[in-house]
Amino acid sequence: MDGVTLTAGRPGRASPRRRARPRWPGPARLLREPFTRRAWAEFGYTIACVPLAVAGFVFTVGTLLIGAGLTLTIVGVVIGPLLIAASTPGVLGLGGATRWLARRLLGIKVTGPPPPRRNPGVTGWFWSALNDATAWRTRGYLALKLPVSLVAAYVAGWFWLGGLAYLTYPLWWEIFHNVSYRADGVTHPDPVTNPGPFGSVHVLTLPGSFALIPVGVVALLAAPWVTSAVVAVDRALIGRLLGPVSMSERVQDLARTRAHAVDDSAARLRQIERDLHDGAQAQLVAVAMRLGLAKEKLRGAGAAEPDPAGAEPDPAGAGPDPAGAAGAGPRQPDIDRAFELVDAAQRTAREAIAELRDLARGIHPPALDRGLDAALATLAARSAVPVDLVVDVPQRPSPAIETIAYFCTAELLANVAKHSGAPRATVEVVHVPGLLRVRVSDAGQGGARPVPGSGLAGLAERVRTVDGRLDISSPGGGPTAVTVELPSHA
Amino acid sequence: MRIVIAEDSAVVRACLVEILVDHGHEVAAAVGDAGALRAAVAAEHPDVAIVDVRMPPGYTDEGLRAAVELRHSDPGLGVLMFSQYVETRDAADLLGASRGGASGVGYLLKDRVTDVGEFIDALARVAAGGTALDPEVVGQLLGASRRADGLATLTPREREVLRLMAEGRSNRAIAARFAISERVVQKHVGNIFSKLGLPPSDADHRRVLAVLRYLEG
């Protein structure tokens, strides 16, 4: 980009480099400027904005007036606001079109504000569309743009087109020159009035028309600067009204990206668990099964089982092979040894299967895919302390929230088992519209505190990442109740 | 006997077929999803269906639901479910929802299958109309039970016998496990039933249900 005094991308902000440049451009710059692409782009912008401005103004002001008018009547008191709410997408689209035009022709990189949070349901849509701050700022822009754009187009148009016309005035003289016929039969030329920046110039004859050429030259040389000046007003408006500058929009953007990150990580963990199940666990099970078959073959070949203290008792009543132990052939020690090895290998494989299973369950319990009630039922059954479980979840919250609720419950139950000394625990899970509440209580010794670095503190942090709450009621000696509240969606 | 297998992992499926064929059973079909399972059972009329709980397309409980349906439509079909994880609700669904209760029904962890003897024994029990519940399932049920005080009245040996009964084992199998005589086992069983106030049952699968109902409170 040329080092123009007006900076693109940050309208309204003075660039520190501006002060270092000379205020007036040198003669070479002056002569070059009208031919630069940038100058033409700005001129094109002023022209192209006119239809957009007209459409924007008509749409915005029109819907507002009609909507407001309808609201005042009894009949349309509901239709009015609905109309305004329904106009929001159109308004935002027009704002987007303006930004696109500005980006293509002016090089302004103003990113649009993030899309607003859509609340579910019809009333949610209505209020969010009506309260959309971005849309209101865009409406303001579109209302102001029409006068600004018309003035800009007129001024820029005069300088460019008018300058061009004056530059080539002699060529047009034939068309413009006036001749009037007076009574004495002699034609007298009438002056042609040509507006100029410092008063009109009257041209009588063809040679006189050459006098306008300097006017045209001056106009053309000044055109880019004038155009930039009028476009600067629009730039400022775009920057203030169409860009995402307000703090609340930044917050909205952050909330949206955070929700995305939370959901994304929950989905990834589920995928990891699925891959473990389909891949590593399946392979290990196959290995263990084949080793089991091998053991059977060896038993059939006469292997003597190793000392069964610690090995599983055989419920099928097979027992040690009666003929094998007595008939020890020369290969018997090998076969016995082979059996030992295969048995040990199978035990290792089984342990690995169990460990992988616990690992996968710690990453993402598969029952969670079916819902909190199924997952919590298994959690309660496996808990070290007996658990009274009450689950009332008519509609499922989002998977990420279910995951957080599950692991919170698991951690809290582990705490009950480790610290409370209570014989039982109670887990209540309730899902009302918009809120999931999990409560783990016990009649133990109490005294639970969210010490920094403890599991409870970590739980509170994790709950806060989705704007949830953790309440602890645990007086020393008294019953303990920990309540976790989570939104239905991250 | 004729068996149909439904298991989505090809590697495990192949191993199952190997084990079954090795023990002289006929594998009429080995499929990978619930739809194919229904079709295979309808076409082949097997004695037992071995079904994985989690199968495509959703990988939640397609196998379980298919098994429950099959039990409804054909109570004579033995169904042995196996699963990577024991989910308490699945076992309850399988036993409770199917017609015929616990007769000819089994629920095993996949690990259990790696002990070939156990697996074949469970298969035989299910095919004969008995029950085969994974010890882990029974352990969960015992642990979660509200009947802690009732269970506390049992001697340790009686508690072990109760556990094996809940798994669906016959008196003879229990006797073999503890290297005692069947008559002693019968005595233990009688004591258990009277201490817990359970109605006397003759068939193994009926007493499984009685025990389970007791444990669930």
Encode pLDDT of A361-404 as tens digits. Answer: 888 888 888 889 888 988 888 888 888 899 999 999 998 899 99
User: Distance (Å) from the C-alpha of residue B56 to the closest C-alpha of chain A?
Assistant: 11
pLDDT of residue A9: 43
User: Distance (Å) from the C-alpha of residue A283 to the closest C-alpha of chain B?
Assistant: 7
Size of interface A-B (CB pairs under 8 A): 121
Same domain, B23 and B117: yes
Task: Summarize pLDDT for A397-454 with one digit per residue, the tens.
Answer: 998 899 999 999 999 999 888 888 888 899 999 998 889 999 999 988 888 888 887 8
Best residue in A289, A339, A368 for a mutation probing chain B (most B CBs within 10 Å) = A289
CATH of the domain at B149: 1.10.10.10
Same domain, B203 and B187: yes
User: Distance (Å) from the C-alpha of residue B199 to the closest C-alpha of chain A?
Assistant: 26
Same domain, B58 and B146: no
Per-residue tokens: B69: 């349906």
Same domain, B65 and B31: yes
Same domain, B42 and B73: yes
CATH of the domain at B103: 3.40.50.2300
Same domain, B19 and B83: yes
pLDDT of residue A28: 79
User: Distance (Å) from the C-alpha of residue B148 to the closest C-alpha of chain A?
Assistant: 9
B15–A374 C-beta distance less than 8 A: no
CB A229 within 8 A of CB A43: no
Phi then psi for residue B203, to 5 deg, are -75, 145
Task: Summarize pLDDT for A331-359 with one digit per residue, the tens.
Answer: 677 888 889 999 999 999 988 988 888 88
Per-residue tokens: A312: 């599983």
Determine if the peptide bond prior to A22 is cis (ω within 30°). no
DSSP states of chain B as a string? -EEEEE-S-HHHHHHHHHHHHHTT-EEEEEESSHHHHHHHHHHH--SEEEEESS-TTTSSSHHHHHHHHHHHH-TTSEEEEEESS--HHHHHHHHHHSTTTTTTEEEEEHHHHTSHHHHHHHHHHHHTT-EEE-HHHHHHHHHH-STHHHHHTS-HHHHHHHHHHHHT--HHHHHHHHT--HHHHHHHHHHHHHHHTPPP-SSHHHHHHHHHHHHH-
Across chain B, mean pLDDT equals 84
Across chain A, mean pLDDT equals 79
pLDDT of residue B14: 92
Task: Summarize pLDDT for B41-76 with one digit per residue, the tens.
Answer: 999 889 999 999 888 877 778 888 888 888 888 878
Share of residues in chain B with pLDDT > 90 (%): 22
* C-beta neighbour count of A291 within 10 angstroms: 22
**Does B163 touch chain A if contact means CB atoms closer than 8 Å?**
no
Same domain, B120 and B90: yes
Share of residues in chain A with pLDDT > 70 (%): 78
Q: Which residue of B has its CA nearest to A295?
A: B116
Domain finish residue from B116, B133, B150: B133
pLDDT of residue B21: 92
Same domain, B29 and B101: yes
- Mean pLDDT, rounded, for B143-166: 80
A290–B173 C-beta distance less than 8 A: no
Task: Summarize pLDDT for B6-52 with one digit per residue, the tens.
Answer: 998 888 899 999 999 989 999 999 999 889 999 999 998 899 999 99
B169–A357 C-beta distance less than 8 A: no
**Does B166 touch chain A if contact means CB atoms closer than 8 Å?**
no
Domain that holds residue B60: 2-133
The closest CB to that of A289, out of B19, B148, B173, belongs to B19
Does residue A461 carry a pLDDT above 70?
yes
Same domain, B128 and B52: yes
B143–A382 C-beta distance less than 8 A: yes
| Residue closest to A341 by CA, chosen among A306, A368, A309 | A306
- In total, how many domains does chain B have? 2
Domain finish residue from B75, B101, B133: B133
Give the Cα separation of A5 and A12 in Å (integer).
Answer: 12
Better-scored residue on pLDDT, A186 or A234: A234
B144–A366 C-beta distance less than 8 A: no
Same domain, B30 and B66: yes
The pTM (predicted TM-score) of the whole model is: 0.59
Same domain, B86 and B168: no
Same domain, B46 and B104: yes
Domain finish residue from B101, B133, B165: B133
